[in-house]
Structures are given as structure tokens and as C-alpha cells.
Amino acid sequence: MEKIAVDLHIHSCLSPCGDEEMTPNNIVNMAIIKELDYIAVTDHNSAKNLPAVFEVVESLDEGICFLPGIEVTTKEEAHVLAYFKTVEQALELDAILYKRLPNILNKPELFGPQLILNSEDQVVGQVDKLLISATDIGISELCGLVNEIGGIIVPAHIDRKSYSIIASLGFVPPDLAIKTLEVSKQSDIEKVKKSYRFFRDYQFIHSSDAHQLMDIAEREYFLELADLQRETLLIWLGKEQTSC
């Protein structure tokens, strides 16, 4: 087994709250400087910067691995991470999410621009709909959709008093194919684990939820994996998604 340093929740400049410095090259290079083994870029309700991040990772050939992801806002206003084996799968969910976001346009001067970049960090577009809105997809439906595409879900920052599955529902629906829960950076996993009895049925990960370069995790969150294949990480993170 290998001890893998991970940060599986990082926002790019596509997220309106993400710093404009969070470009594909800056994110990947900062992760390399911090000697991370695995990163996931998980923008709010969109995968449109993942092709560029993927290209940067491939072109640098520095041994850093990349897991495609999206942080989905469900209709219950819970943030749920969806992870996939391929960027194409993430883009498949992206297309569904775009349709199922409300028709509220982003106001860049108020919320920040939602920039789509290429692998040279050039701006090639912006997303018009406000990406921090909630979609009209419930947690259970999301689990099914992600599963159908071939991905898995991990509820995000479950210890937070807002925008978490616990804040919204008060529990993790036991019928959903969920194996892993994410705890935010400032919380102690052991303490969170003890806060609800049903948490003993889950495993926990820490991520940075970085919106700025300096907030990307150090070599501080580790997973034990047999190898660095995306498939291996997805199997570790997710339950076989047959029950959604």
C-alpha cells in the first residue's frame, strides 16, 4: 500500500468565489510545490475548467495525479462532491447541471467572474448562469445520475452549519451509496466522527476546499491506496452505486 497525499476539493477561477489566481497552471504547479500526489478540482456545478487542468497535468508529467470532480449544490442546498474517472464523464454531468440550474445570471461585479480557461491560462469564455445557485436535483437523484455516468459521490464539509448534507437533512440517507464523508479543514475528524452515532458507518477524508492558491493543502491529508490509478481511488472513495 502507498501513502498518498491528497487534496480532493480545490476550486478554480471558474467558481465565482474562486480567486482569479486559481488558474489551471497555478493550481497544478502549487500542488507540485506542495508535493501532493493527487488533486481534484471541484468547481461549483461545473466541469468546464477540467479539460485545461487535465491537459496541464498531462503536459507537465511531474507524477501528480488528477481526479475530475464537481461540487454540486443539490436542491436541499447541500454541497456534494461528484468524482469521475474521466473529464468527459464530468462534462456529461456538467451539461445536466447547467440545464438544471435556475435562470439566474451571474453578476461578475458582485459574485466574481466565472472564467473558463485553456491550458495556457488564457480566458476562453465565461459561464453565464450563476454557478453558486442550487440545482433542482435532490441528493438521491444526484446519486443516481452520477452513478449512471460512472462516478461516485462524497458529501462535502459535513461538519459545516450551512451547505452540508447534515445541515440540510440532519443525517446521511442510509439507502444512498455513500461510503466517504468529507470534513472541512478546520475540524478534527475524530471529534466529528463522535458527533453522530451513524457516522461510524462511514469513512472520512479531509480536503482544503481551497479558493486561493495558498489554501491548497500541504502534504497533510493521506490515503492508503494500492496504486495511483483513478479507478483505485474511486473504489476507495465510493460504495458500489447500486442502491441509488
Give 232's DSSP letter.
H
CA–CA gap between residue 228 and residue 51 (Å, rounded): 20
Q: Tell which positions 153-172 bind Zn ion, by CB under 5 A.
A: 156
Size of the site for Zn ion (CB under 5 A): 4
Binding characters for Zn ion, 31-70, by CB under 5 A (x = yes): ----------------------------------------
| Distance of alpha carbon 65 from the chain centroid | 15
b/e map 94-131, b = 16+ CB within 10 Å: bebbbebbeeeebeeeeebbbbbbbbeeeeeeebebbb
- CB closer to Zn ion out of 92 and 159: 159
Q: Between 64 and 93, how does the x/- string for binding to Zn ion read (CB under 5 A)?
A: -------x-------x--------------
Is the CB of 19 or the CB of 71 nearer to Zn ion? 71
Of the candidates 34, 44, 37, 33, the one whose C-alpha atom is nearest the C-alpha of residue 9 is 44
For residue 34, the minimal CB distance to Zn ion (Å) is 18
DSSP-derived pairing of the beta strands 65-73 and 79-83: antiparallel
Residue 58 or 67: the one with the smaller Cβ distance to Zn ion is: 67
8 or 91, CB closer to Zn ion?
8
Q: What is the DSSP code (8-state) at residue 90? A: H
For Zn ion, give the closer residue by CB, 40 or 145: 40
Contacts to Zn ion from residues 171-230, by CB under 5 A:
209
Residues found near Zn ion in the complex (CB under 5 A): 71, 79, 156, 209
